[in-house]
Chains A and B, each alone.
Chain A
Amino acid sequence: MAMKNKERKKIIQAIPFMLPSLVGMVLFSLLPMVIAIALSFTDWSGLGKFSFSMVSRQFIGLENYKRLLSQGEFWSAVGHVMYFVALYLPISFFFSMMVALLLNSGKKLSGLYRILYYIPVLTSWVAASLIWKWVLSSQYGVFNSILSIFGIQGPDWLTNKYWAMPGIVLASVWKDMGFYGLYIFGGLRTIDTGYYEAAQIDGAGKWVTLTRITIPLLSPTLFYCLIMSLINAFQLFPQVQIMTEGGPNGATQVPVERIYTYAFSYFKMGYAAAFSWLLFLIILVLTMVQLKAQKAWVHYEA
């Protein structure tokens, strides 16, 4: 009982510190989410004046959800983002890990590397997408001209329906690896060097050290990065909107891009709201699954 009171007091003390971000979250995330539920049951265009009486006047029940689930477009958009995640997650983790190990190697230049790899993270997605659009241009792009040095004929990245998504993955990995790399680097720094000394004495090789010591002790950090990157990946939007606009032939149409298009260019706000709620549910379920699955591989005992 005494313990509980103490905790309650702690929470009360914390509230003033949380207030600024709490207000922001309620106003700009929670409130829109609640309004979006109401909107998802209407056929509001997003153009007419918003009012509460409009919600009851234009109420159409579950019609939007029915249409969404029965039309191929929703499933193909989800399929495309799944494809993106399947490509992006392993590649991004591999390169983030490389960046982290490079930063952790303690070489002279690691301070410089830290800056270099973090610059893409600070770049706005709009600028980065525009640059990558040119880098991946099939005729005039840097990427394909580098490939041609090795005698490889590069694909028509963003204009070919099979290569457009890998092209977007490439840009995303480039932008994100510094962020997750720095996180993993932070995780690496918290590992007690004593473990490595002990392993060395026991005669463990590099591979065994990596798989038996580094990765298990790093697992809480990796888990955090996994959840973050998965949620972010499902919200894939700016790079698609700028680099391909969902094309070619809809090969890179993803949920958030569809939500934006329906809300702001097709004037079907109700439909878009329903779409965003289905996306929220998908992300929620996936995150819950990961939280359950973490027991199998995440070690908090460090």
Chain B
Amino acid sequence: MKVKRLVSMGLAAVLAAGVTACGSSQDKSATEQTANENQTGTSESASAESASPESNDSESDAPITITYANFNASGGNEETLNKMYEAFHKAYPNITVKIETIAMDDYFTTMQTRIAGGTGPDCLEMNIENFGTYASQGILEELTGADTEGMNQTALQAFQYDGTQYGLPENFSTVVLVYNKDLFDKAGIDYPSDSWTRDDVDAAAEKIRALGDDIYGIYQPVTYNEFYKVAAQYGGSLLDADKTEFTINSEENVTALQSMVDRVQKTNVQPTEEQMGGMGDWDLFESGRLGMIPTGTWCFNTFKDACDFNWDICVEPGETQKATHFFANALVVNKDASAEAKAAAQKWITWLASSSDAAQIRLDAGWDLPALDDTSKLSSYLEQTPPENRQAVFDSLNDIVLPPIINDYQQMSDIITDCISKAAKGECTAKEALDDAQSQCEAAIKLK
């Protein structure tokens, strides 16, 4: 009897131990991903190594193989990246780059696990949201050997942390107002223009909403990402100038949130979550039932294929001022890599970010925009249609708002989304939602 009880107690403990199994599955997905890595480099690495095994050149010229991890090429641009690498390898035959392309969904958990385990790649791609967290943890190498001339200065500044350059801007995208021309024609109103404000958008949205029960004027989700931008359009911000205090419930921000909520609750030119019923916002636009959608320039290729109506873009209208989302990915170097690998990695990422060869390959593939200062180099981007008004993408750069990067960026964004979506559902007022977000952020997050 006693033995049996002991055994069953032991069994209980073992079963309870299953809790930790979740943690280990993370490691598993990381290793699976590594197995999927792109092996393009290997054949060339053999020839590069045999070419000059005994060369007495300086250290930097000795053949070296580095690893580079990225998410941006996954889902269609793996070949484009390979092409870039081949061009790079011609110019720098001694540097072999092993490229690992990992889907965005797994990318950051994989990187976290590998860097913590000391098996991170020598250089990697980083998005703007995670950049601050990584830089603050001291795991990125200061980029001293990179030639930053010709790079987009705004983007370059976004990848400084405490005045130190840790990342090079690889590409950029902005958010523009995409609109369904056919619905505007049907409603008999003028197309949006750069002189519009949010009030003009609201008026147009109401006219389009009147076209039918399941036709909506605009979709701008009441989430953190849209909110910090709309707040800026009303002259507000989430943090004070030196990022030492939250200013989430400022008067400007309350007005901004109120205007977002009114579109859902008051005029209903924007569908509620229930009216969306789990449908995606792009799907709604593609179905031809949505007048306007502020969304990223990365939608162009998808909309080109999916929309059987006429559409175009313009710079997103603001209120007291214009404010446009600006997203960029950075190329960073792992501090943990060897000195030789770091030097080679800086050459590779500088080339990838600023060489005209890389830029041309990127543009030819219609991938995204290289973050170059001289937009005349990007002219071939303008020749592709739709949208007709591609110039708006460059015009939108005049009024950009950067994400308010702090160390606990993701947590702040979750808290704010949580609170303001309550207001969007009509469960509380805009003021209550932002007061709540302010006190939650103050309690959970320490600013420097």
Contacts and interface: CB of A to CB of B under 8 A. Distances in A.
Contacts of A60: none
Main secondary structure, interface of A, reads helix
B353 to A, nearest CB: 24
Interface stretch (B112-120, B162-170, B372-380): B112-120
Given A249-B421, A250-B418, A280-B16, A32 B336 contact: no
Interface string B139-160: 1000000000000000000000
Interface residues of A, number: 52
B154 to A, nearest CB: 26
B20 A32 contact: yes
Given A264-B26, A266-B408, A267-B133, A139 B278 contact: yes
A219 interface: no
Contacts of A228: 15
Given A50-B117, A138-B277, A284 B133 contact: no
Interface residues of B, number: 47
Interface string A150-170: 000000101110000000000
Interface string A234-260: 010100000000011110000010011
A17 interface: no
B445 to A, nearest CB: 10
Contacts of A247: 418, 421
Interface stretch (A41-49, A77-85, A173-181): A41-49
A71 B138 CA distance: 29
A98 interface: no
A66 B273 CA distance: 37
A33 B408 contact: no
Contact of B139 (A47, A237, A260, A263): A47
A25 B418 contact: no
A291 B421 contact: no
Nearest to A48: B137
Contacts of B22: 235, 237, 256, 259-260
Given A47-B112, A138-B278, A249-B418, A235 B134 contact: no
A165 to B, nearest CB: 17
A235 B109 CA distance: 20
A258 to B, nearest CB: 11
| Chain A to chain B: the 5 pairs with minimum beta-carbon distance, closest first | A139-B277, A137-B278, A287-B12, A28-B24, A47-B137
